A and B are shown apart, each in its own frame.
Chain A
Amino acid sequence: MFTLYVWGPGWDLPSIDPGCLTVIVYFQLLVSVEWGIIECNNPNISPTGELPVLKDGVEWIAGANNIIRHVKRKGFDADENLTTRQNADSVAYVSFVEDGIYDSLLYLWYADTKNFTQAISPLYGKLLAFPINYYIPNQIREIAKTRLEKYGVISVGDQGFLVDKELKMYKAIRKSYKILLDKIWDNEFFFGNNLSTLDMVVYGHLATHLYSDLPNPSLAIILRTEFPRLVMFCDRMKGRLSEREIVKFPFNDLPSVFTGILKSPRTWFNNTFWQIRNVEKEAEKSQAQKDFERKRIISITGAILFMVTYVIWNKIISIEFISEKDKEYYDNDDVDDDDVNDNYDDSDNDGDDSDDDDGENE
């Protein structure tokens, strides 16, 4: 019995993550034994920290490619009928999809500030428990930053927002789509008339470009207007998949303290409505501006607080609480100190003064 742990659903897709979607599709179309998915949204259960993860008996296999390799060995091989050359092409094109096509998704989700702040960040906020819902998107964003460097996408400002300074990214995205288009050409599948792993990998990635509902759906627009054959391919795949049911197992075997919060309906409710209300009002101010202002207010408040604390500590302005009894005590003490000081002052004019006395005594 296979259990697939995956990222949760979104936008009418069984999972928002391309790797998870690929293995779900593979299982839907090829695996005939009992299997089910768990929408666990917690990458920490995986031995590598990445989802999807397959649990087969006592074995844990992480990563889409490893899962497919494992399942192929168990007898569910989508590439049985491919020629040697086609198998080699499959290896090459899968690498290409995980490289260039995935970079396009990273750009759409993490470099486009509107998409990131209005859709992706809240999406992770909804799916993940505190505190990893802050940690995960930023971690992926760091990876996105490094991967997108080669396209000229650079980090700007102290919030690190990614900007495509030379507009190379969209050229590269179109080039990647064209390569897939040239490969499939007029065929129903990438390698002729039969389904293969590459089809499922391509669908897994392109579905997230095409069917996601984002404020700035630039990839979906490019695909629909310029690469209709790829859209038709995705629609065909989606049609086949809608006939195959997905069994979902309940999510109950993770002893995380924070899963309770995650499942709370009120938080989910607040998140959705709060976000809708604010989208229109704050459309003008970009995230960078808001964060900058927040930082500014924090630093000014911090500086004032520090100054006030310092002033009070050093008794420049002192706040004292004196009871009646203590007051009398303090008054007496003051008198004594004055007497002592007077004694010192008289003899303190000059060293010479006292020497004078000594000299005379001698």
Chain B
Amino acid sequence: MSNQTWRNAINNNPIQQSIRQFLAKFPLKIHRSLYAARELDVPRLYTWGPGWKSGQQTSFDQECVKWQTLLKFSKSDFETKSLNEPLMSPSGKLPFLVLTTGDVLVDDAIEKHVTDMYSENLGSLNNEQQEADSAAYIASADTKLRNALLYNLWCEPANESITYNKYVGHYAKPLDKLLFHKYKSLAVRELLTRKPVLDKEEIYQEANEALQAISIALGDSKYFFGSSLPTFIDAVVFSYIHVILNIPLNELVQVQSNLVKYSERIYNEYILSGF
């Protein structure tokens, strides 16, 4: 007999079959569980919250504002939950998005999800040169503006209490102090990957230069690079400007007026409008 038929013969052996039939009878009685499975109706974005000022619908953390804004741009249905625990996230950092299928998305995966599913509500850039410019300006925001943000929140002794309240205030003592030092050293570690030494003046000066460049690039248009609908760079720039305007960094760098107006307009049009 060939291997296959030999195996079939063993499996279809009448004794084997009767044993299997006997086993299939057990358990004799099956109850329904008392606990129903929890399922999501709409995708849920877990973020840091609440906002810097009371009543603000945005998170206090810049990364969370960025992804929250992108989801709002796409006009997709989603809800936000602020449990303030980064250990929940697969990357160890908030935010993360849980879809109704159960998938958990972070960072680029969220961008891919939004552009795949909801591209009709997002703008698109005309040509490759503008896309290159977009990537370059996003890089300048994610390096220079982020350096200033991290330094101002975590390395300025005067701001320690507000950062502490937002990020670790909800833990029991002495965990809050331990976790504050842990988050602070993570922020400093990130800063040190871009700058060998943390020089306050240099960091704020470079942030000013970046803000000036971004302001020039935006000019008078509604969204970056003349697009009629917002794109990813609008979410990025809005997240930085919005957070900077709400923390003490506002007094140390100069945010140009066109950026301030831009930020307010996006907040009113997309964030506040509830749907």
On A, residues with C-beta under 8 Å from B are 47-50, 63, 65-66, 84-85, 87-89, 91-93, 95-96, 98-100, 143, 146-147, 150, 175, 178-180, 182-183, 185
Contact = CB atoms under 8 A, between A and B. Distances in A.
Contacts of A65: 206
B10 interface: no
Nearest to B145: A95
B193 A95 contact: no
Contact of A88 (B128, B131, B213): B213
A91 B190 contact: no
B135 A179 contact: yes
B213 A48 contact: no
A89 to B, nearest CB: 7
Nearest to A181: B132
Interface of B: 107, 128-129, 131-133, 135-137, 139-140, 142-144, 189-190, 192-194, 196-197, 199, 202, 206, 209-210, 212-214, 216-217
B201 to A, nearest CB: 11
Given A89-B217, A92-B140, A147-B193, 18 more contacts: A63-B196, A87-B216, A89-B136, A89-B213, A91-B210, A92-B139, A92-B210, A93-B136, A95-B136, A96-B135, A96-B139, A99-B139, A100-B135, A179-B131, A179-B135, A182-B128, A182-B131, A183-B133
For the complex of A and B, list the 9 residue pairs with the smallest distance between their C-beta atoms, beginning with the closest.
A95-B140, A88-B213, A96-B139, A182-B132, A88-B216, A50-B196, A91-B213, A92-B136, A48-B197
Contacts of B136: 89, 92-93, 95-96, 179, 183
Contacts of A89: 133, 136, 213, 217
B193 A146 contact: yes
Contacts of B131: 179, 182
A317 B129 CA distance: 81
B210 A95 contact: yes
A45 to B, nearest CB: 13
Contacts of B107: 150
Contact of B140 (A85, A96, A185): A96
A236 to B, nearest CB: 20
